[in-house]
Amino acid sequence: MNKQITTVNDLKKMTQSDYVKERFNDVLGKKANGFVASLLSVVSTDNKLSTAEPKTILNAAMIAATLDLPINQNLGFAYIIGYKNKTGVVEAQFQLGYKGFIQLAMRSGQFQTINTSDVREGEIETHDRLTGSIKFSWKEENRDKLPVIGYIAYFELLNGFSKSMYMTTKELKAHGVRYSATAKKGYGMWVDNFDAMSKKTVLKLLLSKYAPLSTQMQTAQLADQAIIRGENNYEYVDNQPVLPEEVANNKERGRIITHIKDSKNIEALVQCEEHIVDDETRKLFEAKKKELENKEADKLAKDVDEGIKKEAKK
């Protein structure tokens, strides 16, 4: 019996066990049977995935079920991808599509608008390098004939807060090569579907950096592009950073840390406070703030003492 038949048969046995049935029923209810049928169909029709370790397939499927996202690849919400590890064994990797990120964001009830789009040649009117804001002049006629120069993601919350993120195609290709071992070798999702991966990347970075993250969104951020070893056990075999804030913008975090260390007073220090997104940088900020407050208190006490001495001499 070949590996493909063995994998599909083993997966069928797993999904028919009382324990697995109960888990799918707990998270999906009446949709459980349809989801399992879709899972078996996806695996049996994917040559690479059908040779993957069944347990990793099941774990990836459980993440998709927990997020209540379909795994039909034609829909673009979530994917289960076969990935050959360094030992040559094929394992299943969970991947979220950009439509999945949009779906999870809208479910939180905090978003007025959320979208992502390609940007064509001639559609950028102005780009303020100081604020980062971009003014677009969207083309309508024969737009599909214009070359794509980048991708943008945008959201607006119900409270009025809005943010966007733009990346050029050059930046996105560099991102794919940096964080995906398969992209480095010239195959995989970054090669087969660059448009979808680009939209997903700008949206994921935007949300992880600026948006309020629901519990589902946090799970999605952590599980994306990971082999699921167990509950809260994610292995990023495709060179993907573990933490959302690392994915969001390591360079900006470095600039914030430098700003904190170089700040000479409280007024300068607090200018970066709203941009802090991780606990480690927050601790550094609080320590620096306390240090500066103590210095200012010492200076004030010294000034008072000198004032008293001057008055005494009069």
Q: For residues 13 and 225, what is the distance between their CA atoms, to the nearest angstrom?
A: 26
Mean pLDDT of 168-195: 85
Band of pLDDT at residue 177, cut at 50, 70 and 90 = confident
For residue 287, pLDDT beyond 70: yes
How is residue 161 written in tokens? 């807060």
Residue 255 has pLDDT above 80, yes or no: no
> Is the CB of residue 71 less than 8 Å from the CB of residue 78?
yes
Question: Is the pLDDT reported for residue 158 higher than 80?
Answer: yes
Q: In terms of pLDDT, which residue wins out, 243 or 274?
A: 274
Query: pLDDT band at 263, cuts 50/70/90?
Result: confident
Residue 233: burial class (beta carbons within 10 Å; 0-12, 13-18, 19+): exposed
Longest dimension (CA), the chain: 104
Question: Mean pLDDT over residues 133-139, rounded?
Answer: 90
Burial class of residue 108 (count of CB atoms within 10 Å of its CB; 0-12, 13-18, 19+): middle
Of 69-73, 245-249, 309-313, the least confident: 245-249
- How far are the Cα atoms of 7, 33, 72, 217, 267 from residue 36, in angstroms, in the given order? 15, 5, 11, 23, 57
Edge to edge, the sheet with strand 111-120 lists: 111-120, 148-157, 162-168
Q: How far apart are CA 6 and CA 51, in angstroms?
A: 8
Structure tokens at 37: 């049928």
- Give the span between the Cα atoms of 134 and 166, in whole angstroms: 9
Per-residue pLDDT tens digits for 288-304: 988 988 888 888 777 76
Q: How far is CA 247 from the centre of its chain?
A: 6
Long-range contacts at 73-78 (CB < 8 A, ≥ 24 apart): 73/42, 75/99, 76/100, 76/196, 77/103
